Chain A
Amino acid sequence: NAGVMQNPRHLVRRRGQEARLRCSPMKGHSHVYWYRQLPEEGLKFMVYLQKENIIDESGMPKERFSAEFPKEGPSILRIQQVVRGDSAAYFCASSLTGGNTGELFFGEGSRLTVL
Chain B
Amino acid sequence: QQQVKQSPQSLIVQKGGISIINCAYENTAFDYFPWYQQFPGKGPALLIAIRPDVSEKKEGRFTISFNKSAKQFSLHIMDSQPGDSATYFCAAMDSSNTGKLIFGQGTTLQVKP
Between A and B, how many residue pairs show CB distances below 8 Å?
Answer: 67
B54 within 8 A of A: no
Which residues in window 48-101 of A have CB below 8 A to B? 48, 55-56, 58-59, 91, 93, 95, 98-100
Per the bound structure, the CA–CA distance linking A93 and B52 in Å amounts to 24
Stretch at the interface among B14-22, B61-69, B77-85, B103-111: B103-111
CB atoms of B99 and A4 under 8 A apart: no
CB atoms of A48 and B43 under 8 A apart: no
Size range of the chain B interface in the assembly: 20 to 34
Contact of B99 among A33, A58, A107 (CB under 8 A): A33
CB atoms of B99 and A100 under 8 A apart: yes
CB atoms of A91 and B99 under 8 A apart: no
State the interface size on chain A (CB cutoff 8 A). Answer: 29
CB atoms of A4 and B43 under 8 A apart: yes
Which residues in window 86-100 of B have CB below 8 A to A? 89, 93-95, 97-100
Chain B residue, CB-CB nearest to A42:
B103
CB atoms of B43 and A108 under 8 A apart: yes
Please name all residues of chain B whose beta carbon is closer than 8 Å to the beta carbon of A109 when the two chains form the complex.
42-43
CB atoms of A100 and B46 under 8 A apart: no
Please name all residues of chain B whose beta carbon is closer than 8 Å to the beta carbon of A95 when the two chains form the complex.
99
A44 within 8 A of B: yes
CB atoms of A106 and B104 under 8 A apart: no
What are 14 pairs between A and B in contact, CB < 8 Å? A33-B100, A35-B101, A35-B103, A42-B106, A43-B103, A45-B100, A56-B100, A59-B100, A91-B43, A100-B93, A100-B97, A103-B46, A104-B101, A106-B43
